[in-house]
């Protein structure tokens, strides 16, 4: 049952991720990203990381996506204009994607030949204490850099919106 649920929610995550790129309206794209975050939360639950799954839903699917939608609406971004596709991109895009995927898979398997396999439910080091300890010791600098970058993005969106209004 775990394998079936894994493949089901992995497929949902991939379909929503493709939909993020394919959509021409930014709100639809952001809502597809919420679908990706929800599917990832279920995948974390299947692996045994209950705290990380709930943090995924609360922080990313909740707070960050609300912020994205707020900024999109603040900028009043409309639907993207349709453009003609290049002939080269039409014929080489999908085969090129699968070739890149094959090269990446080959490289990863070559670099890490004896890596341990993931087993459902055996990941037990994702509790609040472990995540908090790692976040505020080992990953404190990247955490603070990300918060500053988000603040800069918000200020930039406000400046762009004010410039459009004037």
**Share in percent of the chain as helix, strand, coil (round to 5):** 75, 0, 25
Residue 49 has pLDDT above 60, yes or no: yes
pLDDT digits 0-9 by tens, 82-134: 777 777 777 888 899 899 999 999 998 899 888 777 676 666 666 778 878 88
Residue 57 has pLDDT above 80, yes or no: yes
Confidence of residue 78 (pLDDT cuts 50, 70, 90): low
Identify the residue whose tokens are 């898979």. 105
pLDDT score, position 10: 94
Of the candidates 15, 21, 13, 63, the one whose C-alpha atom is nearest the C-alpha of residue 41 is: 13
pLDDT digits 0-9 by tens, 147-156: 899 889 888 8
pLDDT score, position 48: 79
pTM exceeds 0.85, yes or no? no
pLDDT score, position 91: 82
Alpha helices in 23-86 (DSSP H): 26-47, 50-55, 65-75
Confidence of residue 51 (pLDDT cuts 50, 70, 90): confident
Q: Dig out the tokens for 56 from the structure.
A: 């995924």
pLDDT score, position 112: 87
What backbone torsions phi and psi does residue 27 show, to the nearest 5 degrees? Answer: -65, -45
Residue 162 has pLDDT above 80, yes or no: no
pLDDT digits 0-9 by tens, 5-38: 999 999 999 999 999 988 888 888 888 988 999 9
């Amino acid at each position: 049952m775990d394998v079936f649920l894994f493949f089901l929610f992995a497929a949902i995550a991939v379909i929503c991720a493709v939909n993020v790129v394919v959509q021409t309206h930014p709100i639809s794209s952001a809502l597809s990203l919420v679908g990706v975050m929800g599917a990832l939360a279920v995948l974390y639950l299947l692996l045994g990381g209950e705290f990380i799954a709930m943090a995924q839903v609360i922080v990313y699917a909740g707070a960050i996506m609300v912020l994205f939608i707020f900024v999109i609406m603040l900028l009043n971004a409309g639907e993207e204009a349709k453009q003609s596709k290049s002939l080269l991109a039409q014929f080489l895009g999908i085969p090129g994607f699968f070739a890149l995927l094959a090269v990446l898979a080959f490289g990863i398997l070559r670099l890490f030949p004896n890596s341990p396999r993931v087993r459902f439910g055996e990941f037990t080091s994702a509790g609040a204490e472990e995540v908090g300890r790692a976040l505020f010791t080992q990953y404190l600098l990247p955490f603070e850099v990300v918060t500053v970058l988000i603040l800069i993005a918000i200020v930039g969106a406000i400046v762009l919106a004010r410039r459009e209004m004037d």
